[in-house]
Amino acid sequence: MIIVLTGIDGSGKSTAARALVQAVRARGGKAMLLSNHAGRRTMSVLAARMGVQLPPRATDAVETLLRVSNVLVSHLRAQCFDGVVVMDRHLHCQLALRTTKGLPRGRFLPWLLAALPRPAAVVHLDLEPAEAHRRIAARGTDSETLADLSAFRDAYAGLPEFGSFVQVDASLPAAELAQRVLQAVATLQGGPGDSGKDAAVTNRI
């Protein structure tokens, strides 16, 4: 079973992913965490230090290459794992980022998304941009404007795939958030032992 976590920066995707893996293992199950990052945070920090503004298309090209590479490797690893595979981010994240940059979806990413094995659930961690901005400022490793976070949240909501996402309140503590995700996954057809190719359901908890 593959579970994908999406959400704006500061929504706690990585923290929730780790907590979810721990929760599955605590119940006696097998779980593995795979990250599909695109190097966005690293590039933004470097650009800020150098005082340069990278062109949107150039940054998208680099991010897409890294994201696609990581996603493909993750799916190959998932095929060899008998258990719950939690993916921190996926191609949906890049599609939403493209919208915030004023770039078109293109054809390749939607095609690849449809060609890859469908996750049992794409869980979207929904968080108010103001709270996400506070969290980002608190961690101090990068920076995002409130306007950009708001645009990113709107971009996710505008994805054609968004209607099939399981939406979860990301303001919850990590442990409780993981339990809510587990509850949502338990409602899916086939349960935890499913192959991971059933369609996700629309839900909000």
Residue 101 corresponds to which tokens in the numbers above? 């940059």
What does pLDDT average to over the chain? 85
Whether 64 contacts 71, CB under 8 Å: no
Domain boundaries, the chain: 2-204
CATH of domain 2-204: 3.40.50.300
Q: How far apart are CA 64 and CA 159, in angstroms?
A: 17
| Residue range 119-132: mean pLDDT, rounded | 95
Q: Indicate the residue type of 74.
A: S
Rounded alpha-carbon distances, angstroms, from residue 62 to 90, 103, 113: 15, 14, 18
Whether 86 contacts 182, CB under 8 Å: no
| Residue range 160-187: mean pLDDT, rounded | 86
For 90-113, the pLDDT digits (tens) are 999 999 999 999 999 999 999 999
Q: Which comes out higher in pLDDT, residue 106 or 143? A: 106
Residue at token pair 């101090």: 140
Q: Looking at the predicted structure, is the pLDDT value of residue 190 above 80?
A: no
Please give the torsion angle defined by the CA atoms of residues 142, 145, 151 and 156, in that order, rounded to the nearest 10 degrees: 20
Q: How far apart are CA 137 and CA 151, in angstroms?
A: 18
Whether 32 contacts 76, CB under 8 Å: no
Angle value at C-alpha 114, between 153 and 84, nearest 5 degrees: 75
